[in-house]
Amino acid sequence: MGKSLHADLLDRWTKLAGPQAHAVGEDLIRRYSEPHRRYHTVDHLAAMLAVIDDLAADAEDLDAVRYAAFFHDAVYNMDGTDNEEASARLAETTLPALGIDEDTVAEVARLVRLTGGHHPDPADRNGAVLCDADLAILAADPTAYAAYTAAVRAEYAHVPDELFRSGRAAVLSALAEQPDLFRTPTARARYDSAARANLAAELATLTGE
């Protein structure tokens, strides 16, 4: 991780949460820098925040969405199935100590949990922005998408190839079958076509079809 990215993320965090939250920001960045991570890293966090900036007008509570981005993968254990829940609980225990109001804390935790399935309700503007930002990588150009899929595979290097391929195909199929892969009008117009093409190409590779 370059110092500039570390500094940029820490600056964004302290502007959001206040200078008293500096140590928490350092801890969050440390979490995203854990050695077992290959995709769910500081680069992913920075990319998400950039997309949230682009979709800012679609959010109802932009601060809550940004807090949720910082926390959404704060806990990421490769053998865990409750990472989103653990990340939400971390937000619930951390944010009140920073003076964040109860309603915002509850909204942040709700949003973090939402990233476990990426199924915001139609009227959930905050959830739509966060989920669209998390899934924006699906619309990456071919080189970036190949790097993304390689990084995901590296995170699951302990999983046998056959099991990984079937599991990954199931995840991608579920995404591809969603009538609205992206929920905000801006993201739908910008990302949907490229994302569906990438999903179809990767599924063909995984299934041999």
DSSP string, 162-207: HHHHHHHHHHHHHHHT-S-SS-SHHHHHHHHHHHHHHHHHHHHHHH
Tens digit of each residue's pLDDT (9 = 90 or more) over 60-99: 999 999 999 999 999 999 876 799 999 999 999 999 999 9
> Who wins on pLDDT, 195 or 3?
195
Q: End-to-end CA distance of the chain: give it in Å, rounded.
A: 38
State residue 161's pLDDT score: 96
Residue 1 binned pLDDT confidence (cut-offs 50, 70, 90): very low
User: What are the residues whose beta carbons fall under 8 Å from the beta carbon of 148, sequence distance 6 or more?
Assistant: 39, 137, 140
Asked if residue 25 has pLDDT above 70, the reply is yes
The pLDDT tens digits for 134-174 are 999 999 999 999 999 999 999 999 999 999 999 999 999 99
CATH number of 3-207: 1.10.3210.10
Token pair 């964004």 is at which residue? 12
- Domain chopping of the chain, boundaries: 3-207
Please give the model's pTM, rounded to 2 decimal places: 0.95
Dig out the tokens for 5 from the structure.
């990215």
The pLDDT score that the predictor gives to residue 3 is 63
- Asked if the model's pLDDT at residue 102 lies above 90, the reply is yes
- The pLDDT value recorded for residue 39 is 96
Q: In whole numbers, what is the pLDDT of the chain averaged over residues?
A: 96
Q: At what angle do helices 125-135 and 102-114 cross, to 10 degrees?
A: 40
What does the pLDDT read at residue 203? 97
